[in-house]
Amino acid sequence: MSELGWWGVLIAVAGGAIRVSTPYLFVSLGETLTEKSGRVNLGLEGTLVMGAMSGYAVAYLTGSPWLGALVAGLAGALFGLLHAAVCNLPRVNDVAVGIALFLLGTGLAFYLGKPFIEPVAPRLPHLALGAWSGSPAVRAALEISPLFLVGLVLAPLLAWGLRHTRWGLVVRTVGDNADAARALGYSVERVRALATMAGGFLAGVGGSFLSLYYPGTWNEALSSGQGLMAIALVIFARWNPLACFWVSLLFGGATALGPALQSVGITTNYYLYNAAPYVLTLVLLVASSSTKHRLVGAPSELTISR
C-alpha cells in the first residue's frame, strides 16, 4: 500500500468508513427508534457487546454465522425488554437504567463469553465489489459486508416508516406527547417497550458484526465505546435515520484513521489517533447542542433533551 502514499491513506479511510461504520449504523438506527418513542437506552453499549458475544458463541456452536447474527439480535431484544420492564415502573430514571444495563451487559458478556475467546467461529461472508480493480488497496476497501447493505436499506425504510405509516405515527405520538397517546387509547408503556426491544435487536445485530465480520473475533476489548458514540451520534443526526447513515460513515472514517496512518508507516502517536472518534463525538455534540432552544426533531418526552 505504501506506493500509493497519501492516496493509500485516503482509500484506507474510505474503505474503513464502510467497514467500521456498520455497528454505528445499526446502533444509531435502533436508538433513533427507541428515542422517537420517548425513551433513552444508554445501555446499548452493553447490548452491543452482548450481541457480539452471543452471535460469536452461536456461530461457533452451530457453524452458521447468520444464525449467530439472528441470536445476537434476539439477545439484544431481551436486553431491550429488561430495560423497558424496569423503566415502566413508576419513578425509575431511564438514563440510570441504561448505565446499569451497560455494566450488566458487558459483565455478562465477559462472564458467559470466557469459553469462546479461544475457538474460531465461521465469519459472515463478504461481497467483493472491487474485483474489477487491479489495486489491492481498492479491492480491500470495496469488500463489503451484506450487513452494511442491510443497514443501507434499513435507514431509508425506517425514515419512511416513521413518517408515513400508522405505527410510525403512534411511536412519534408516544414520544412527543404521552398524554395525547393515552387519550387515543394507546398503551404508552407497551409502545415504548416494543420500540426499545426493536432498538435492542438492531444493536445486538450490530454487535454480531463486530465479532463475526470485522474485526471478526471475540475478545473482551472488542468494543471500545462504539455503542456509546452511536447514541451521541443520534443527537447530532437530529433523530433522522438518513442522517444517521451519513454520520455513521463519518465516524467509521474517524475510527479508521489510526490504523490507516499506521499502514503507511506513521506509527507515532497511534494511541492519540485512537482518541479521534471520541473527540469528534464530543465536538459534534458541543456544536449541535444549545441552551437557547430545543433541538430540532427531538422528541418532547425525551429526558436527555430537556
Partner 1 sequence: METAAISAAALLAALVVFGGFAALRGLDPLEVYRVLYLGAFGTWFSVQETLTQAAPLMLTALCTALPARAGLLVIGGEGALVVGGVATVLAGVALAGAPAVLGVVLLCLAGAMAGGLWIAAAGALRHYRGVNETISTLLLNYVAIALMNHLVTGPIRDFAQVLKPASWSVGEQLRVGEIPGTSVHWGLALGVGACVLTWALMRCTTFGFSVDILGGNVRAAQMAGLPIGAMVLATCFLGGAAAGLAGAVEIVAVHGFASSSLAVGYGYAGILVAFLARQNPLAVVPVAIVLGGISASGGLLQRRFGLPDAATLVLQGLLFVAVLAGNTLYGRLRAFRKA
Residues that bind partner 1 (CB under 8 A): 42, 82, 86, 89-93, 95-97, 99-101, 103-108, 110-111, 114, 224-225, 228-229, 231-232, 235, 268-272, 274-275, 278-279, 281-282, 285-286, 289-291, 304-305
The angle, 0 to 180 degrees and rounded to 10, between the axes of the packed helices 241-263 and 6-36 is 150
Which element (helix H / strand E) includes 191?
Answer: helix 188-212
Q: How far is the CB of 211 from partner 1 (least distance, A)?
A: 16
Nearer to partner 1, 49 or 174 (CB): 49
193 by Cβ neighbours in 10 Å (0-12 / 13-18 / 19+) ranks as buried
Is the Cβ of residue 154 or residue 228 nearer to partner 1 in the bound state?
A: 228
Looking at the Cβ atoms of 269 and 300, the one nearer to partner 1 is 269
Query: Residue 225 or residue 297: which is nearer to partner 1 going by CB?
Result: 225
CB of 183 to partner 1, least distance (A): 25
Closest contact distance (angstroms) between CB of 33 and partner 1 is: 18
- The x, y and z cell numbers of residue 38, run together, are 420517548
Q: How far is the CB of 266 from partner 1 (least distance, A)?
A: 13
Q: Is the dihedral of CA 196, 197, 202, 206 positive or negative?
A: positive
Nearer to partner 1, 7 or 278 (CB): 278
Give the Å distances, CA to CA, from 294 to 89, 281, 298, 300. 27, 20, 7, 9
The nearer residue to partner 1, 187 or 268, going by C-beta atoms, is 268
User: Minimum CB separation from partner 1 for residue 202, in Å?
Assistant: 19
The CB-of-221 to partner 1 minimum distance in angstroms stands at 10
Question: Any idea of the CA torsion for 163, 72, 152, 125, to the nearest 10 degrees?
Answer: -160
- For the chain, the straight-line distance linking the first and the last C-alpha, in angstroms and rounded, comes to 49
Instruction: Please give the grid coordinates belonging to residue 292.
Output: 437557547
Choose between 6 and 111: whose C-beta lies nearer to partner 1: 111
**Residue 88 vs residues 85, 129, 179, 230: alpha-carbon distances, Å:** 5, 46, 15, 24
Total Cβ atoms within 10 A of residue 82: 20
Could you list the beta-strand ranges (E) of the chain: 127-128, 143-144
Q: Tell me how far, at minimum, the Cβ of 56 lies from partner 1, in Å.
A: 16
